[in-house]
Amino acid sequence: MRFASIGRYVRVISVIAALFVLLAACGQTSKKAGTDNDDKKASETKKEVVVYSSRTEELIKPAFDAFTKETGIKVSFTTAKEAELQERLKAEGANSPADMLITVDAGNLWLAADAGLLQPVSSDVLEENISDNLRAPDNQWFALTMRARPIMYSKDRVKPAQLSTYEDLSDKKWKGRLGLRTSEKVYTKSLISSMIASLGEKKAEAMIEGWMANDPIIFDSDTDMIKAIEAGQNDVAIANSYYLGRLLKEDADYPVDIFWPNQDDRGAHVNVSGAGITKHAPNKEGAVKLLEFLSGPVAQKSFGELNLEYPVNENVELHEILDGWGEFKRDDLNVSELGKNQTEAVKMADRAGYR
């Protein structure tokens, strides 16, 4: 009996041991399955590119949708003012979900890079699609559209032969006839920054002092400034071309036209909108693919049609309104200079009484 009992105990122990082995195996299988699921989930997450943009949804979403359709990579985005987005990136640091920052004006892009919010990108596609002067020297950001800022004039009260350069707007013949955007706007800061780079500080400051001596009307809006020309409040102004383009879409006979200044020397001032890959981008690979797509023909044409900005990709056909303004010589200054000189531009405007 004793030996029989021992045998039964041995068999019971063997069964229990077998159960432990089986449970351990199940646990390993479950763990492996869980790991596979985690990997799958991570892979799916990696397919999404997260964008912080100061550009409006109606302008960027069509390009994002086209990118997703072509690549299968989803794009989620948050829109806000430039300063808010930069502060958000600073606060989030390495934990930021953002892969890309899109904003307007080379000055804003320069500030983002200077604050350590972006990282360099190596891409043959971007270097082929975007000329050297339209991207940061270290490739931390790239222009996506060009925003020309020429002289606008009344077709009824001004003859093109009376116009020549930005500097000439300081001539007394324009006293009481000049409209300018407030110096607080980044467009104005970048314009003055370009003058500092091209003319030197002394000549640039003399030009601004001349503008102020002509008692210009200062506007908070480019559109209002152009409409003031139509209304007879002023005869000439400096404004971004796409603002006039929008008005021409509504009325092809709008009585304001563009004059391309400085065609005998450096060319018309051109600013940009652009983008960079964030320093801590969780999906850098996907973000680079998106940036390359945005420099390509589909997105470039979309930007031109929706907001009448000039494409940075020279192989893209111009919108008919842009084409109607004709070819012009643009200032080939590297647009990063627009950011570097902004501090001095602000001081210069203050000294001249430009508010």
> What confidence tens digit (pLDDT) does each residue in 117-141 have?
999 999 999 999 999 999 999 999 9
Report the pLDDT averaged over residues 50-68: 97
pLDDT-derived band at 175, boundaries 50, 70, 90: very high
Q: What is the mean pLDDT of residues 203-208?
A: 97
Nearest to 278 by CA among 288, 270, 292, 269: 288
**Residue the block writes with tokens 């990118």:** 67
CATH number at residue 192: 3.40.190.10
116/92 Cα distance (integer angstroms): 13
Q: Which residue has tokens 């892969």? A: 99
Tokens at 178, concatenated? 């000049």
Q: Which amino acid appears at position 45 of this protein?
A: T
Structural domain contains residue 22 = no
Q: Is it the case that residue 12 has pLDDT exceeding 60?
A: no
CA distance 47 to 67: 12
Distances (CA, A) of 204 to 91, 143, 207, 336: 37, 26, 5, 18
Calculate Rg over the CA atoms of the chain: 29
Does 334 have pLDDT greater than 50?
A: yes
Lowest mean pLDDT among 26-40, 41-55, 68-82: 26-40
**Is 122 a domain residue?**
yes
Which pLDDT tens digit goes with each residue over 216-261?
Answer: 999 999 999 999 999 999 999 999 999 999 999 999 999 999 999 9
CA atoms of 193 and 109, how far apart (whole Å): 14
Higher pLDDT among residues 207 and 16, named by residue: 207
- Identify whether residues 158 and 246 lie together within a single domain: yes
Q: Label residue 214 exposed, middle or buried (CB < 10 Å: 0-12, 13-18, 19+).
A: middle
- Answer yes or no: is 18 within a domain: no
Where does residue 215 fall: left (phi above 0), alpha (psi -120 to 50 degrees), or beta otherwise?
left
Decide if 322 is inside a domain.
Answer: no
Same domain? For 346 and 298 the reply is no
Whole-number mean pLDDT of the chain? 90
Q: What average pLDDT score do residues 292-302 get? A: 97
Average of pLDDT values for 14-38? Answer: 44
Instruction: Indicate if 205 and 216 belong to the same structural domain.
Output: yes
Say yes or no: 104 and 175 in one domain: no
Contacts of 145 (CB under 8 A, 6+ apart): 272, 273, 274, 300, 303, 304, 307, 309, 310, 311, 312
CA pair distance 318, 305, nearest whole angstrom: 9
Same domain, residue pair 84 and 138: yes
- 115 and 202 in a common domain: no
Helix, strand or coil, per DSSP, at residue 50: strand
Report d(CA 309, CA 147) in Å as an integer: 6
Residue-level pLDDT at 47: 78
Arithmetic mean of pLDDT, 160-169: 98
Residue 46's pLDDT band (boundaries 50, 70, 90)? Answer: low
Pairing relation of β-strands 217-219 and 178-181?
Answer: parallel
Full residue range of the structural domain in which residue 129 is found? 48-146+270-317
Q: Let me know whether 220 and 294 are in one domain.
A: no
- Burial category of 38 from C-beta neighbours within 10 Å (exposed 0-12, middle 13-18, buried 19 and up): exposed
Q: Greater confidence, 289 or 9?
A: 289
Average pLDDT rounded to a whole number, residues 15-19 = 42
Split at pLDDT 50, 70, 90, the class of 155 is very high
Same domain, 265 and 275: no
**Residue 3 forms part of a structural domain:** no
- Domain count within the chain: 2
261 plus 164 within the same structural domain? yes
Give the pLDDT mean for 285-306: 96
Residue 1 falls inside a structural domain? no
Judgement on whether residues 243 and 298 belong to the same structural domain of the protein: no
Name the helix (H) or strand (E) containing 193: helix 186-199
| Residue 14 is assigned to a structural domain of this protein | no
Q: Which pLDDT value is given to residue 15?
A: 39
**154 and 238 belong to one structural domain:** yes
Q: Would the pLDDT of 9 be above 80?
A: no
- Same-domain pairing of 153 and 232: yes
Instruction: Check if the beta carbon of residue 82 is closer than 8 Å to that of residue 104.
Output: yes
